[in-house]
């Protein structure tokens, strides 16, 4: 049921139909809930497909039923709520993530007068990352979800050319240097704002408490799960280099060829040059409102002036052996002994000890 009255002036394609609920566009209590196991037996031949801003109609024993890109996302949200209700800890993490999204201005609640202007509604779910030091849970927005006419937001978008440097090339360059460092850009996508006119294609349903009415929100920034997001993020960094990079030649070099989406994997022949590059990268990205976290280096002195909570080398643990390893572009890298491995960590440690006896 809608939370406010919906403008039906554009519903001319179904104006002559006998609807199962003639007042379905107005807020009202739900009369009865029917289980999915009997839904198919209620349907009759016939359906009418609307545009992406109109509902589609399905014939039933009760009359015509209306459905749309909005109802699909709403059903997904109810399913999500049922899952979260069974796991209070998971719900607490999810609420915390969404509260941060709202408090950061990366999403906002839709005013009542704009509720009927939604162009696409994105279902969302969570991915848990217990090994992460910073974000144990990430909400993923499923822009590949089909609407009532079988089209998703991702189906309609151009994804743009691949702008990121090849991973193998990045890693080979990384191994040439004596002093290396890695870091990533905190919430990279969320630092990039969308035009106001595009944000109604990124609407979601959410409420912080199940006792509240369901609300509509719009996502204001580049969104994880939208097919064009990697291109938009990389293109934004390239534009930042064009606009501001002349003052930061070392940073421009790093961001042009040693950045993979939000991961920086770089190095230089001396500590002095690596320090200079690190400072330039920080300052250049700051001009684009990007912040760097999860710093690691094979030379601890390079990280000496950074806040300890922004560094990984002294505290990161991905298993019970506590051997201080972290993932770098799908591989694992131990900054203490400066080696990559794809083996189990116990095997890698054994191999290293055989090659480097004490």
Are residues 132 and 41 located together in one domain of the fold? no
Q: What is the CATH number of the domain that holds 149?
A: 3.10.10
Are residues 109 and 209 located together in one domain of the fold? yes
Are residues 146 and 41 located together in one domain of the fold? no
User: Does 246 fall in a domain?
Assistant: no
Which residue bears the tokens 């990697």? 230
Which one, of 18, 15, 2, lies nearest residue 65 by Cα? 18
Number of domains making up the chain: 3
Which residue bears the tokens 């290293």? 352
> What span, in angstroms and rounded, lies between the C-alpha atoms of 163 and 17?
51
> What span, in angstroms and rounded, lies between the C-alpha atoms of 234 and 9?
42
Which residue bears the tokens 């799908």? 330
Residue-level pLDDT at 319: 35
Residue-level pLDDT at 353: 45
User: Does 120 fall in a domain?
Assistant: yes
Are residues 133 and 209 located together in one domain of the fold? yes
Residues in the chain with pLDDT values less than 50: 314-324, 345, 347-358
Residue-level pLDDT at 322: 38
Residue-level pLDDT at 53: 62
DSSP string, 220-273: -B--TT-TTHHHHHHHHHHHHHHHHGGG-HHHHHHHHHSEETTEEEEEESSHHH
Helix-strand-coil split of the chain, %, nearest 5: 35, 20, 40
**Pick from 67, 82, 105: which residue ends a domain?**
67
Q: Which two tokens stand for residue 301?
A: 């002195």
> What span, in angstroms and rounded, lies between the C-alpha atoms of 150 and 201?
16
Are residues 96 and 59 located together in one domain of the fold? no
Residue-level pLDDT at 316: 30
Are residues 45 and 129 located together in one domain of the fold? no
Are residues 21 and 63 located together in one domain of the fold? yes
> What span, in angstroms and rounded, lies between the C-alpha atoms of 229 and 286?
20
User: Does 269 fall in a domain?
Assistant: no
Are residues 206 and 84 located together in one domain of the fold? yes
Residue-level pLDDT at 283: 98
Classify 298 in phi/psi space as left (phi over 0), alpha (psi -120 to 50) or beta: alpha
Residue-level pLDDT at 89: 94
Are residues 78 and 215 located together in one domain of the fold? yes
Are residues 96 and 16 located together in one domain of the fold? no
Are residues 214 and 79 located together in one domain of the fold? yes
- Residues of the domain holding 24: 12-67
Are residues 125 and 211 located together in one domain of the fold? yes
Q: Are 63 and 23 contacting, i.e. CB atoms less than 8 angstroms apart?
A: no
273-324 confidence digits (pLDDT tens): 999 999 999 999 999 999 999 999 999 999 999 998 899 854 332 233 334 4
User: Does 231 fall in a domain?
Assistant: no
Q: Are 267 and 177 contacting, i.e. CB atoms less than 8 angstroms apart?
A: yes
Whether the CA torsion 275, 277, 278, 280 is positive or negative: it is: positive
User: Does 148 fall in a domain?
Assistant: yes
From the number of C-beta atoms within 10 Å of its C-beta (0-12, 13-18, 19+), residue 304 rates as exposed
User: Does 305 fall in a domain?
Assistant: no
């Amino acid at each position: 049921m809608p939370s406010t009255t919906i403008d039906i002036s554009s519903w001319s394609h179904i104006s002559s139909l006998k609807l199962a609920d003639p007042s379905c566009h107005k807020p009202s209590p739900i009369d009865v809930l029917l289980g999915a196991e009997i839904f198919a037996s209620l349907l009759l031949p016939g359906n009418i497909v609307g545009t992406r801003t109109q509902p589609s109609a399905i014939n039933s024993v009760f009359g015509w039923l209306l459905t749309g890109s909005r109802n699909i996302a709403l059903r997904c949200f109810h399913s999500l709520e049922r899952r979260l209700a069974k796991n209070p800890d998971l719900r607490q993490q999810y609420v915390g993530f969404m509260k941060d999204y709202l408090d950061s201005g990366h999403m906002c609640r839709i005013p009542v007068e704009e509720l009927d202007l939604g162009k696409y509604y994105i279902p969302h779910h969570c991915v848990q990352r217990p090994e992460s030091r910073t974000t144990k849970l990430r909400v993923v927005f499923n822009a590949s979800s089909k609407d009532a006419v079988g089209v998703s937001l991702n189906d309609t978008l151009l994804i743009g050319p691949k702008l990121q440097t090849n991973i193998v090339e990045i890693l080979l360059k990384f191994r040439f240097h004596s002093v290396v460092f890695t870091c990533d850009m905190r919430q990279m996508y969320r630092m990039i704002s969308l035009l106001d006119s595009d944000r109604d294609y990124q609407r979601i349903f959410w409420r912080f408490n199940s006792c509240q009415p369901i609300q509509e929100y719009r996502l204001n920034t580049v969104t994880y799960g939208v097919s064009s997001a990697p291109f938009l993020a990389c293109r934004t960094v390239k534009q930042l280099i064009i606009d501001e990079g002349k003052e930061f030649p070392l940073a421009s070099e790093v961001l042009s060829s040693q950045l993979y989406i939000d991961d920086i994997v770089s190095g230089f022949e001396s500590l002095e040059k690596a320090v200079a590059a690190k400072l330039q990268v920080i300052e250049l990205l700051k001009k684009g409102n990007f912040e760097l976290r999860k710093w690691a280096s094979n030379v601890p002195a390079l990280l000496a002036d950074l806040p300890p909570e922004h560094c990984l080398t002294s505290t990161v643990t991905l298993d019970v052996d506590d051997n201080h390893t972290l993932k770098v572009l799908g591989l694992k890298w131990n900054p203490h002994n400066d080696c990559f491995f794809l083996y189990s960590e116990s095997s890698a440690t054994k191999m290293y000890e055989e090659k480097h006896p004490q």
